[in-house]
Each structure stands twice: as C-alpha cells, then as structure tokens.
Amino acid sequence: MSDMKDYTGSFSYTGKYRLQKDGTRVLVVHDFEYDGKYYHPEKPLKFVFENRIEVDGGSWVSVTCEAISGKNGGMNVEEALGNALMDAALLHEELINLEGPMTERLKAIQDSIRLWEVHAIDSKAQ
C-alpha cells in the first residue's frame, strides 16, 4: 500500500483495546478528539485491526469500522487509527447537513452521526 494517505492533525481517544483469539485486535472507542474537535458518538465505535501482507512482502495494518462503513489502513496501528478517526471526523462533517436522496445504509449512518456530541475544543480551557 505505497499510496496510503496519512492523517493530518492530532488525535486522542478513550477506549478499550482487546486481542481476539483469531489474532485480530479490537478497539472500542467511546469518544475521541481529532484536530481540535471533540466527538462523542451515541454508540461506541468498534475498530477491528488486521495485519496484511502484500505480494511483494510488504505489510500494513487494515482497520474496519462497520458503524461508519469505513475501511482504512496504515503502516502501523497508530497510523491506521489516525486515518480511521480522520475519516470518521470528515464523514461527520460531510453527512451532518447533507440533504437529498441517499441509500438506506448512508441514511442510517447519517441518522446515527446526527446523534453524536461534537464541539470545538477551547485550547485555553485545557
């Protein structure tokens, strides 16, 4: 995955990380901060990480989150999670006020995202 995008900004999260018997890793995120905003989904986001091996011998980490229909990746878990949280934040910004026709799945994601608590972080208050 040489053309992998990199997240920009910074992130932090509150969550629980578990290693499954099949070798996958699961991170349940209750809330997160990304690039100056706080996001608290109504239901925690469940990220599933898996190691991937390329034909040429290279490797990367895949991360999937069904709640936001997201599949992402990175060279390591931190990069994969950063990319996934970046996409979750961008998806929120895109869907929060989107109007017009959309698939049932996208409408369900939009309905869920509209219930997230989101606000800018006041750096002076920290």
Q: pLDDT tens across 85-104, in order?
A: 999 999 999 998 899 999 99
Mean pLDDT over 65-90 rounds to 90
Interval 10-27: pLDDT, tens: 899 999 999 999 888 999
For the stretch 117-126, what's the b/e string if a residue is b when 16 or more beta carbons lie within 10 angstroms of its beta carbon? eeeeeeeeee
- Domain range for 111 is 11-118
- Confidence (pLDDT) at 125: 47
Q: pTM to 2 decimals?
A: 0.84
Q: Tell me, what's the pLDDT at 33? A: 95
The pLDDT of 22-37, averaged and rounded, is 92
Does residue 27 sit within a domain? yes
Number of domains in the chain: 1
Is the residue at 87 inside a domain?
A: yes
In a domain, 6, yes or no: no
Q: Is 126 contained in some domain?
A: no
What pLDDT is recorded for position 5?
59
In-domain check, residue 123: no
Query: Looking at the domain assignment, is residue 19 inside a domain?
Result: yes
Distance CA 56, CA 48 (A): 24
Predicted confidence (pLDDT) at residue 123 exceeds the cutoff of 70: no
| CA 121/CA 114 separation, integer angstroms | 19
CA 5 to chain centre: 14
